[in-house]
């Protein structure tokens, strides 16, 4: 019998550990932060200390104010991986490179001088972000982090242009906020199923020699490389789009309420933290009036310090217009439980605490809840808080609760507040427009810097770097065109003004060049590649 108990205990401990419960043996006694009935062991023993996990994972106690001074990050501790990953993700996206153009000449019987016929390369594939209504988390990004669009096919003879690269469509959940990694500025808010944003346009295909034909040069032996596709690391953050959020302590009956009022089937069980990820349900009253309700994980006293599941998930309520606060009436002190959860909401964000809410006193079918109800009601009504009682399991009073929530919603809701700008699908492409604008910057905009030893010059300019990258040095005429462009856009002049000397190194984009004061046959200043092979400069981005 004893053995079985021990086994059971061990199993429970393991479960708790994986769930992030903060029961821990400390100084030989069991410390339980929260007893589930609104009381805590510290209080019963008259202790005021705060316990936290230090860097070695040991439980230490500290007075409250000193704890705050420490600024410790304990939130993530013990939070299950599934919870940590479902609403934040970091992904890499890259648009496809353009295909290369080719040099070819038409050779045909009875067509003696067929002329250049090298086709252009195909455009690289684009990267799109699309809202998938069936997704409710960002968990798929745990397994797949890199998204690359296909490269365009190379051009071919007979004026044949290359095929366009395959697009990549990254599906995200409704309510996903997109930022560039390391930058707080929001790039996109993807709210409604079906919304699609062009994020990165594919690289342009390189031109084949047919495109270079001109009156001066009727047999051009030149073709371009395809343009490299832009790349980016993105940070995705999910903020669920719901009208009403159900909050409350663990095991209060939040999921049961959602299952009764909507067709959602969240997991319901008689233990704390059954719900680890928020669930959404659609409540419909009649044909036109529906509202989306989110059932959130349980909130504990001390959640802002990382107790229980922490309170990170509360940001999903930021888009809710109203809250339903479910209180377990069968607990020993429902008022205490109510206050503790309210305090956590306030600590998370003052705006959240200011959202209109109603209190749903649950489990009225149990005698202890029934007995406590009058005093609870009296206390909250004294504070001017709207309170309803219900038994979610027996489906009694739930309609009143949800009707009251709907009424609150009607009073407060401002449709799509703050996101009107993104409603127009054209606006969703503003990131792509920005990337495109950056890429098409003029080659005459550049800046010249010089390193400490004075013999290396760096020419920086997006347009110029792109030109260097697209120059295909295998073709004879490329070098000539390169020299001509440098001359025309003023790089040579600027370098000479700054005092460049024979043999100095000039770095443009990924290319390393050597400066010559006068070229062998022309007598004009010139730059030559360091070797016949293109030398990629490793430190430059
Ligand atoms: N007697 C009674 N039990 C209820 C009632 N509502 C919920 N329960 C029970 O309370 C337990 C917890 O219910 P859940 O709906 O999982 O509670 P929760 O608030 O979602 O819990 P977490 O997800 O763990 O935070 C389950 O065993 C339910 O059957 C009720 O009105 N009366
Ligand atoms: Mg639940």
Q: What ranges do the domains of the chain cover? A: 2-72, 82-238, 244-412, 441-529
Contact 319, 241 (CB under 8 A): yes
Protein residue with its CA nearest to atom 7 in ligand 1:
253
Could you give the ipTM of this predicted complex? Answer: 0.98
**Spatial separation of the C-alpha atoms in residues 147 and 516, rounded to whole Å:** 44
CATH topology of domain 244-412: Rossmann fold (3.40.50)
Predicted confidence band of residue 261 (pLDDT cuts 50, 70, 90)? very high
* C-alpha pair distances (Å), 273 with each of 20, 59, 166: 9, 22, 44
CA dist., res. 161 & res. 100, Å (int): 10
Residues 6 or more apart whose Cβ sits within 8 Å of residue 301: 33, 34, 40, 307, 340, 341, 343, 344
Task: Please determine, for residue 77, whether its predicted confidence score (pLDDT) is greater than 70.
Answer: no
pLDDT over 80 (residue 197): yes
The CB density around residue 432, as the number of other CB atoms within 10 Å, is 19
CA of 295 to the centre of ligand 1 (A): 12
Check whether 537 has a pLDDT greater than 50: no
**Residue 159: what pLDDT?**
92
Ligand 1 atom closest to Cα of residue 259: 15
Nearest CA to ligand 1 atom 12: 251
| Cα–Cα distance for residue pair 241/315, rounded to 1 Å | 11
Using only the alpha carbons of the chain, give its radius of gyration: 33
Return the number of other C-beta atoms located less than 10 Å from residue 110's C-beta: 4
pLDDT exceeds cutoff 70 at 44? no
The CATH code for residues 82-238 is 2.70.210.12
Instruction: Share the mean pLDDT of the chain.
Output: 79
Residue 332 has a pLDDT of: 83
CA angle 480, 483, 488 (to 5 degrees): 125
CATH number of 441-529, picked from 1.20.140.10, 3.30.300.350, 3.40.930.10, 3.20.20.70: 3.30.300.350
Q: Which atom of ligand 1 is least distant from the CA of 251?
A: 21
**Torsion from C-alpha of 308, 314, 316, 317, nearest 10 degrees:** 140
Interval 495-503 mean pLDDT: 85
- For the segment 130-163, what is each residue's pLDDT rounded down to a tens digit? 998 888 788 889 889 999 999 999 999 999 999 9
- Give the pLDDT band (50/70/90) at residue 422: very low
**pLDDT class of 520 with cuts at 50, 70, 90:** low
Measured over the CA atoms of residue 242, residue 245, residue 251 and residue 257, the dihedral's sign is: negative
d(CA 505, CA 528): 10
Confidence band (pLDDT; 50, 70, 90) for 166?
very high
Of 250, 251, 398, best ligand 1 pocket probe by most atoms within 8 Å of the beta carbon:
251
- Ligand 1 centre from 94 Cα, in Å? 46
- Atom of ligand 1 lying closest to residue 392 CA: 31
Most confident stretch, 386-395, 449-458, 482-491: 386-395
pLDDT digits (tens, 9 = 90+) for 426-440: 478 888 888 888 888
Residue 131 CA to ligand 2 center (angstroms) comes to: 26
Nearest to 278 by CA among 17, 15, 87, 142: 87
Q: Do domains 82-238 and 441-529 have the same CATH topology?
A: no
Residue % of the chain over a pLDDT of 70: 76
pLDDT at 398 over 90: yes
pLDDT exceeds cutoff 80 at 28: no
Q: What lines the ligand 1 site, CB under 6 Å?
A: 248, 250-256, 268-270, 272-275, 297-298, 362-363, 365-366, 391-393
């Amino acid at each position: 019998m004893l053995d079985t108990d021990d086994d059971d205990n061990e199993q429970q401990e393991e479960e708790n550990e994986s769930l992030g419960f903060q029961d821990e043996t400390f100084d030989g006694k069991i410390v339980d932060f929260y007893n589930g009935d609104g009381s805590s062991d510290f209080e019963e023993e008259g202790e005021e200390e705060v316990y936290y996990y230090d860097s070695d994972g040991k439980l230490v106690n500290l007075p409250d104010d000193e704890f705050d001074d420490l600024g410790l990050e304990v939130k993530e501790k013990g939070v299950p991986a599934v919870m940590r990953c479902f609403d934040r993700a970091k992904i890499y996206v890259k648009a496809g490179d353009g295909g290369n153009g080719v040099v070819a000449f038409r050779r045909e019987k009875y067509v003696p001088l067929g002329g250049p016929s090298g086709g252009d390369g195909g455009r690289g594939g684009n990267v799109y972000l699309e809202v998938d209504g069936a997704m409710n988390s960002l968990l798929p990004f745990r397994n797949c982090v890199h998204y690359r669009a296909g490269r365009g096919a190379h051009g071919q003879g007979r004026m044949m242009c290359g095929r366009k690269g395959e697009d990549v469509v990254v599906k995200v959940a409704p309510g996903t906020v997109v930022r560039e990694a390391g930058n707080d500025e929001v790039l996109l808010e993807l709210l409604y199923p079906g919304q699609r944003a062009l994020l990165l346009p594919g690289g342009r295909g390189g031109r084949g020699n047919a495109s270079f034909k001109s009156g001066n040069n009727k047999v051009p032996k030149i073709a371009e490389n395809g343009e490299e596709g832009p790349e980016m690391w993105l940070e995705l953050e999910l903020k669920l789009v719901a009208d009403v959020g159900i909050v409350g302590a663990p095991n209060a009956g939040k999921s049961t309420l959602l299952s009764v009022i909507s067709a959602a089937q969240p997991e319901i069980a008689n233990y704390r933290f059954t719900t680890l990820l928020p669930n959404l349900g659609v409540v419909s009253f009649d044909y036109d009036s529906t509202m989306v309700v989110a059932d959130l994980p349980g909130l504990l006293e001390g959640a802002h310090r990382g107790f229980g599941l922490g309170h990170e998930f509360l940001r999903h309520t930021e888009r809710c217009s109203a809250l339903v606060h479910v209180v377990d009436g069968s607990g020993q002190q429902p008022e205490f439980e109510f206050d503790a959860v309210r305090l956590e909401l306030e600590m998370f964000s003052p705006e959240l605490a200011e959202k209109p809410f109603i209190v749903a006193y649950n489990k009225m079918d149990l005698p202890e809840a029934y007995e406590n109800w009058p005093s609870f009601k009296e206390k909250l009504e004294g504070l001017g808080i709207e309170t309803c009682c219900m038994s979610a399991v027996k489906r009694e009073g739930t309609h009143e609760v949800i009707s009251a929530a709907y009424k609150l919603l009607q009073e407060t809701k401002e449709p799509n507040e703050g996101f009107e700008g993104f409603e127009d699908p054209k606006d969703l492409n503003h990131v792509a427009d920005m990337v495109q604008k950056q890429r098409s910057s003029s080659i005459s905009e550049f800046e010249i810097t010089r390193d400490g030893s004075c013999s290396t010059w760096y020419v920086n300019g997006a347009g110029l770097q792109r030109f260097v990258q697209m120059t295909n040095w295998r073709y004879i005429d490329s070098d000539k065109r390169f020299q001509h462009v440098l001359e025309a856009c003023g790089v040579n002049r600027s370098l000479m003004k700054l005092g460049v000397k024979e043999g100095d190194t000039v770095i443009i984009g990924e290319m390393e060049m050597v400066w010559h004061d006068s070229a062998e046959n022309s007598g004009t200043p010139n730059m030559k590649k360091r070797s016949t092979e293109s030398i990629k400069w490793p430190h430059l981005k």
